[in-house]
Structure 1
Amino acid sequence: MPRKLESETIGMLLTDVSRLLRGAFDRKVNAMELGITPGEARTLIQVALTEGIKQAEIATRMGIEPMTLSAYLDRLEALQLVARVPDPADRRAKNVVMTDKADPLLSELMAGLREMMNAYTKGLDEAEREALCGNLRTLRDNLRRLDPCLAGREKGAVE
């Protein structure tokens, strides 16, 4: 007889929430008609968070292939939202920075995402939201510390 697995474990709940949030993010970005795809929006957010790091590091933080990131950056660069600049420590490498043109789009994007998250966290007061964020940070930090596959990854990675 097949075993009945518990579906309300931390891991299962996080997996479900992550999947649902990603879909909601994609739909929200598409509905906002910003002229960028959800993948490009995630990339733009990551560049804003990590201003001036190498492309390969951005791909690692996002958990995507470097070629996928390169395609997102090509499009964002063509829209003049990001720029690739020489890395001062490595002449062969390029770092990615935001342009001034990205500021209004990023502000609109983040306002829309805050609105979305406020709707999805309805029923949680400010203290509960802070506690949830704190608990998720602890879980993330423990995963980075204890999982050898994650060793050496930078803090603050965003999907």
Structure 2
Amino acid sequence: MSTTITPPPSETKLIDPDSLGFLIGDIARLMRGNFEREIEKVGVPVTTSEARVLVHMARCGAARQNVLAEYLGLAPMSVTGFLDNLERAGLVVRAPDPADRRAKIVTLTEAAQVLLDRIAIAGQQARARALAGLTDDQVAAFKSAALAIRTNLETARTASRTEAGS
């Protein structure tokens, strides 16, 4: 016999399962899963996590490992493991940062560019599935709103770091 736990009515009003935070989290999770399936279909010879690292590197260019970890929202140690595998596969190179020899700058190799083309195809297919049935105007409005939200959050994060450092 299973029982269902029902929160008190006052608590259910506080949590909206379709609030912006839940929607963004759900969309991100579902997009990631959709992308993973597409990556498998196009036969990319790296894990989906490693593919995400390559895509973010293509987005931000040569970067320190810790900066890349922040972009990905991952722990630096996790990114180090992915980079170890990608370096062994000849897809990235790491070199000392001239400004700080303790830090490493990660750069994509030419071999990674070929792989990124295949990853881009998977990304296009994943986006097409996600946007099915939406008009161009709806997609443009969503993208505009999402960009504004990202800017707001990045501004708030920068301000918070500035306040913490002063």
What TM-score comes out, normalization by structure 2 length? 0.82
Taking a change above 3 Å as real, the CA distance of residues 43 and 150 of structure 1, as seen in their structure-2 partners, is farther
Q: Which amino acid letter does the alignment assign opposite residue 11 of structure 1?
A: G
State, as a whole percentage, how many aligned pairs show the same letter.
Answer: 32
From 132, 139, 144, the equivalent of 1:122 is: 132
Match of 1:83 in 2: 93
Between the aligned partners of 2:160 and 2:125, the Cα distance in structure 1 is 32
* Distance change (3 Å), C-alpha of 1:45 and 1:56: same
Conserved in 2, the CA contact under 8 Å of 1:143 and 1:150? no
Question: Structure 1, unaligned stretches of length 5 or more?
Answer: 153-159
- Structure 1 residues 136, 150: closer, same or farther in 2, change over 3 A? farther
Structure 1 counterpart SS, 2:57: helix
Q: 1:39 to 1:101 in 2, by over 3 A?
A: same
Q: 2:8 corresponds to which residue? A: 2
CA RMSD of aligned residues (A): 2.0
User: Which amino acid letter does the alignment assign opposite residue 87 of structure 2?
Assistant: E
Partner residue, 1:42: 52
Are positions 1:61 and 2:71 aligned together? yes
CA distance in 2, matches of 1:24, 1:149: 34
Larger Rg: 2
> Alignment partner of 1:101: what SS?
helix
Q: Give CA-to-partner distance per residue, 1:15-65, whole Å, 9 cap, x none.
A: 211221122222222333211001101100111111111001101111111
Three-state SS of the structure 2 residue aligned to 1:8 is coil
Contact 2:94–2:106 (CA under 8 A) maintained in structure 1: yes
Structure 2 unmatched runs, 5+? 1-6
Question: Kindly tell me: are residues 127 and 136 of structure 1, through their superposed partners in 2, closer, same or farther at Cα, counting changes over 3 Å?
Answer: same
Residue 148 (structure 1) shift: 7.0
Q: Could you tell me how far 1:118 is from its partner in structure 2?
A: 1.1
User: Counterparts in 2 of 1:4-153, with a 5 A limit?
Assistant: 4=12, 5-147=15-157, 151=161
Q: Which structure features the higher share of helix residues?
A: 2
Bigger CA drift: 108-117 or 119-128? 119-128
